[in-house]
Amino acid sequence: MQQVNLGMIGGGTVGSGVFHAWQKNGGLMAARLGVQLVFRKIAVKAFDEPRPYPIARDLMTTDWQEVVNDPEIHIVIELVGGTGIAKTMVLAALAQGKTVVTANKALLSAHGPELFAAAAKSGVNLYYEASVCGGIPIIKSLREGFVGNRITALYGIVNGTCNYILSRMKFEGADFAAVLADAQKLGYAETPPDLDIDGHDAQHKTGILASLAHGFWVDHHQIHTEGIRDVSKIDMEFAAKLGYTIKLLGIVKQIQSAAANRAPQIQVSVYPALIPSAHVLANVNQVFNAVFVRGDVVGDTLFYGRGAGKDATASAVLSDVADAALDLKNGTKVRVPPFVAHVKKGRVAPLDEVTSQYYVRFSVVDKPGVLAKIAAIFAAAKIGISSVIQPEGHEGESVPLILMIHDAPNAAMRKALAKIAKLPVVKAKPVMFRVENLQ
């Protein structure tokens, strides 16, 4: 049986998880692949650093270059994270003609084109299944399983921390700050939690999915990103009464171009949105992830599972290692390239050009004529109101007023809300969430 030697950089939580999974199921993988996978060297920060699973002492080194430069190592697994030294490590391994497997979404988001160009120059592959949604095989599905489809829409719950927070807010009627504090105590949220709750982690993942689905690299700077800090208990309650659930979504959609000669356009965004509570995506709760994909041939599909953690990530890493080992066994340079094909010159549309429906909550003075003043500004902007809720039982200097808005361009909506916010009868900044009906 052919032997393929593995080297790994990073032996912490995820790295030791990969090593443990290999110890558990390496024999099973060999039987399925016809390839014996053998760990030759693992670079770690320190031999005695805390890790959930032990790593054999004779395999460890504190010098990552011993992994990259070892001529006997065929596949390098990068699990360091970040965009600094990790980039140097990956480029060094690719330059040595080694296939690289990475779980580093931030690195791919920031330097994807350079890394994939380096892999192509060396005639090797760069695998990255573990970079998006942990144990869900969404990368392989988009690259290979849906190769006969144009992806017309993709909606992803891709950050488990935010989904955990929003789930508890919905089911317990809890406040954002209290649930965030619990999430940090349980280890679901970092301190500080900005990467997750401000949407940046979801941005990295959504950009990778968009690039893969549409065949051209999506720069993460082009992705409109909003987090969940402004989602409140009261908005969860009103959304539920209207038949919706609020989820942080990564959104990739084809949109119609106003000009016939303009390059194909896609919306790539991350923001909290109201989605129908009856939809399967609305029922993905706690720390789980899900990606809803619509193809022009296959129709609607849903991928669901754990999006993070040492075991889910280890499963994805070993899947990539299996593909890389089969490449070596069969002498395959590249099977389905990562980012090519049908619309390489596509365009990410600015959010102002995207049309949406909206939920808007105002805090207004409780007196006659307020709604008329707000409606007049919307009417002047040619924005239609589909429904109005002014709940009873609220007393004080201001009361909530909730409007559901028909399809309108984001630019028009943004300008109208800015005007409304200046009205003397409006006592706080309007709260606005987009509505995605997933149709």
Q: What is the CATH number of domain 2-135+310-330?
A: 3.40.50.720
Identical topology for domains 2-135+310-330 and 144-306: no
Q: Read off the pLDDT of residues 293-325 as tens digits, 9 standing for 90 and up.
A: 999 999 999 999 998 889 999 999 999 999 999
Sequence letter at residue 395 = E
Is CATH 3.30.360.10 correct for 144-306? Answer: yes
Q: Read off the pLDDT of residues 54-80 as tens digits, 9 standing for 90 and up.
A: 999 999 999 999 999 999 999 999 999
In this prediction, residue 119 carries a pLDDT of 92
Report yes or no on whether pTM surpasses 0.95. Answer: no
Report in angstroms the alpha-carbon separations of 376 from 321, 356, 428.
60, 20, 19
Residue 174 phi/psi, 5-degree rounding, is -90, 160
Which CATH class for the 354-435 domain? alpha beta
In this prediction, residue 342 carries a pLDDT of 44
Can you give the residue ranges of every domain in the chain?
A: 2-135+310-330, 144-306, 354-435
In this prediction, residue 361 carries a pLDDT of 97
What is the length of the chain?
Answer: 439
pLDDT along the chain (439 residues), means of 10: 96 96 98 97 96 96 98 97 95 97 95 92 93 93 92 96 96 95 88 94 96 90 96 96 97 76 83 97 96 97 92 96 95 71 72 96 93 97 95 76 97 98 96 95
Buried b (16+ CB within 10 A) or exposed e, 90-126: bbbbbebebbbbbbbbbbbbbbbeebbebbbebebbb
In this prediction, residue 211 carries a pLDDT of 92
Which of 91, 55, 60 is closest to 76 using CA atoms?
91
Tokens of 55: 């790593």
Residue 31 phi/psi, 5-degree rounding, is -65, -35
In this prediction, residue 259 carries a pLDDT of 54
Asked whether the beta carbons of 85 and 108 are under 8 A apart, the reply is no
Asked whether the beta carbons of 79 and 9 are under 8 A apart, the reply is yes
Q: Catalytic positions, please? A: 205
In this prediction, residue 396 carries a pLDDT of 66
Beta-ladder partners of 241: none
Asked whether the beta carbons of 344 and 421 are under 8 A apart, the reply is no
Average pLDDT of the residues of the chain:
93
Which of 380, 436, 383 is closest to 409 using CA atoms?
383
